[in-house]
Structure 1
Amino acid sequence: MEHSTATDKSHAAFDKSAISQLTADSLRLAMLPGIGPRTMSLLLEAFGDPAAVLAASDDQLASIHGVGQKLIQSIRSANQLVDVESIARWCHRNHVDIICQDSESQTSVVGTTTAYPRSLADLPDAPPILFVQGDLVADDELAVAIVGTRHATTYGLKQAEHLAYSLARAGVTVISGLARGIDAAAHEGALAGGGRTIAVLGSGHDHIYPREHEGLAKAVAADGAVISECPPYAKPRAGMFPQRNRIIAGLSLATLVIEAPDRSGALITARIAMEQNREVLAVPGPITSRVSRGCNQLIRDGAKLIQNVDDILEELGPMRAPVQTSDGHEVRNAAELQLNELERAVLNAIETESTPIDQVIQRSQLPTHSVIAVISVLEMRRLIRRLSGQYVSRI
């Protein structure tokens, strides 16, 4: 990490009290060599919190699966091995939040209050620490990952950019990995659509990879977030990219694959999405194209064939919990993002229990013929079901 007069001034402005004890202990533990997300999860499950893990006896630590003498010695030397203050200073200087899994909402080293994403919290190998440049907001629960080959064709790049643009215009956050090819096209399409996009790194924030995407990373952080589970000084390593794919899939309601050869990181992301019970979608390509072989196989094996943004929104289905969007609407199903004001008014008048159509007309204050027509549209979009001739309910 570079040092300069400007850097020293930033360091002087840094307040050590900005690092909570939870953040400090989480960093000491999570950044230790040999502790991956699964081991961290086992330790926290056994001892409750990072402070208790650091204070546990050798015998207690040795009782945890995968914890040997080498790792125990690392835990004993955590204060010497992990320079918490140096990491926090770098994050403060570069406007990067440090978010701990154990805390739903916390004040970060850059002075903002940020919550750990609910979509990641349930994963068995959820990252214990996230380094976030930009903002994570409630709207980001409505997210779709777009992934694919680094060696994309013109067709693939156009599809990625167009679908990301359309998702952004619909209010869906686009997640990808900032890589060359499909990833970059997806981020650029979302930005062009005026929407939010999140890039998940396979390195630390001080080593954006590839280097030519540093400008794109800044643009993504300005209208979304760039996140990593790696400390800022971590250089890109081959093994980190498959590992970061679980975060891309975990942040998303669905993973859309656009151009992927037989052996591809995008197919790893799709497999992880399946394991996480998330939807897997694919854009078809020519049967003679090597880069479309993986997508065509996904479709053959049951992935949804995608031709336009409506196909994607139809597959997202009901949310596990309602999301309050920035425009004040409560969204329970991603398909609601395509509704006009008339359709939204009718939907808002329908309960999850049996609701008389006369009551829908009264609540929406719309003409009877308009309500009847909209009910048919909402039923086709699988947002409501007709229980009988005169009763409907939300799905």
Structure 2
Amino acid sequence: MTDVEHWIWLAQAFSPGSPKPCALAEALGGARVVHEADEAALAASGICTAHDLSLLRPHSLAQAERIIEHCLARGYDIRTFADEDYPALLREIHAPPAVLYVSGRLPAADMLCIAMVGARRVTDYGAAAAERLAMGLANAGVGVVSGLAAGVDTHAHKGALKGGGKTYAVLGCGLDTVYPASNRELYRLVAKTGAVLSEFPPDAGPDRHHFPIRNRIIAGLCAGTVVVEAGRKSGSLITAGQALEMGRDVFAVPGSIFSPMSEGTNQLLREGAKPACGVADLLEEYPEALARILPAEPAQQSLFPPAAVPPRPEPVPEKPATPARRPVQGLDDVQRAVLALLDASPRHVDELAVRASLPPGQVLAVLTVLEIQGLARSEPGRRFCTV
């Protein structure tokens, strides 16, 4: 028997969303130890009630073995709370899932991930906002996490794919089910570039009670959650509340004061959520993470062939009062090109993006790296100049 089987057994013993499987395994020394423990040891943990003990005893490993065989046949991966590549941020939440079933590859340990959630009956404004923000995040190397549902989720995943990045879908059902069925091709593309994942066994169908439970995973995987469009009673507000409880950032896209579909997001803004008026509003919150995820070599060197890179200004000896720029060894072509657009007069990110023919999100990410390296300085209003 393997530890994976014991983890699946332990997860199946409790209701999805329960904090007890991982808490028990940590208290006793692993899922296998929990399986082999007697009632006295389980009771002594202080975690199990009498009802919990009755749940644990009848569970053999046969069902876990069947699930593993099913996953092998379908090409799904299984990750447990004990695995080294279990997402670090997810490990920190109150009730981390003991088991994750995965189609694709989970985010790399150093990848910054942002959740995007919102209404299923999305307006044209909400759809456009979701796609534009997700595309900008993907351009900057940020993972976009959502739930593959209709509406905002769908447009967030599509935007990330258009941006050439990675996106991750957390389901409220098992991996065997595509819900809604109209997203079958989107499911395939998300799994190919990022991952589709669930804590529910592969054959579990969609249930209205599953979705609030899975929302904690969407928020838990991410440093921040963006609510794109939401009415007053939208389920996405649950995700925002869970993100706040986890100590994560919450953003909201401002909406029309005349639209019922913006009542939830506008209320979040009144309560202190950070406004997401553009991708720059999101990226500027995570300069250190962006410095880690930006590649050392340009991902799209063809955007700036050598002839298209503006020449760096030569130093002017007759004006010693003007400090020369610091050495720029180690910068890639894109970073050099953005740096060459800067001078002593602060320029807005959007202006620099137009001049560089790059998405604002990518330009802001490059400027963040230049600032960290002491080659650029940020000014109020998302403006940048030379040091």
Q: TM-score, normalised by structure 2?
A: 0.76
Residue from 9, 13, 24 that aligns with 1:32: 13
Q: Which letter maps to 1:69?
A: A
Aligned to 1:99, what secondary structure does the other structure show? strand
State how 1:342-353 maps to structure 2 within 5 Å.
Answer: none
Cα distance in 2, alignment partners of residues 178 and 209 from structure 1: 8
**2:154: which partner in 1?**
184
Cα distance in 1, alignment partners of residues 330 and 291 from structure 2: 21
Deviations 1:322-379 (Å, cap 9, x if unpaired)? 7456x4579xxxxxxxxx99xxxxxxxxxxxxxxx9995386699xx97995998899
User: Structure 2 unaligned runs (5+)?
Assistant: 299-303, 306-322, 348-363, 375-387
**1:196: which partner in 2?**
166
Cα distance in 2, alignment partners of residues 25 and 370 from structure 1: 57
**1:230: which partner in 2?**
200
Runs of 4+ in 1 over 6 A off after TM superposition: 369-372, 374-380
Cα distance in 1, alignment partners of residues 16 and 193 from structure 2: 32
State how 1:267-278 maps to structure 2 within 5 Å.
Answer: 267-278=237-248
What's the CA shift for 1:286? 0.7
**1:281: which partner in 2?**
251
Residue from 44, 55, 77 that aligns with 1:74: 55
Aligned to 1:298, what secondary structure does the other structure show? helix
Q: Which letter maps to 2:227?
A: V
Q: Which letter maps to 2:66?
A: S
State how 1:87-236 maps to structure 2 within 5 Å.
Answer: 87-104=67-84, 115-138=85-108, 141-236=111-206
Q: Which letter maps to 1:56?
A: A
Q: Conserved in 1, the CA contact under 8 Å of 2:88 and 2:109?
A: no
Cα distance in 1, alignment partners of residues 127 and 202 from structure 2: 30
Cα distance in 2, alignment partners of residues 310 and 34 from structure 1: 40
Q: Percent identity?
A: 39
- Flag the structure with higher strand content: 1
Q: Conserved in 2, the CA contact under 8 Å of 1:141 and 1:252?
A: no
Higher RCO (Cα < 8 Å, 6 or more apart): 2
User: Structure 1 unaligned runs (5+)?
Assistant: 1-19, 105-114, 331-339, 342-356, 387-395
**1:361: which partner in 2?**
327
The yes-or-no answer on 1:244 pairing with 2:218 is: no
Cα distance in 2, alignment partners of residues 209 and 256 from structure 1: 22
**1:61: which partner in 2?**
42
RMSD: 3.6
Deviations 1:79-136 (Å, cap 9, x if unpaired)? 16x51221111111211100011120xxxxxxxxxx2112212223111111010112
Q: Which letter maps to 1:55?
A: E
Q: Conserved in 1, the CA contact under 8 Å of 2:149 and 2:179?
A: yes
Cα distance in 2, alignment partners of residues 297 and 261 from structure 1: 10
Q: Conserved in 1, the CA contact under 8 Å of 2:230 and 2:262?
A: yes
Q: Which letter maps to 1:29?
A: L
Q: Conserved in 1, the CA contact under 8 Å of 2:16 and 2:213?
A: no
**1:293: which partner in 2?**
263
**1:47: which partner in 2?**
28
Distance 1:370 1:35, change over 3 A: closer
State how 1:257-276 maps to structure 2 within 5 Å.
Answer: 257-276=227-246
Q: TM-score, normalised by structure 1?
A: 0.75
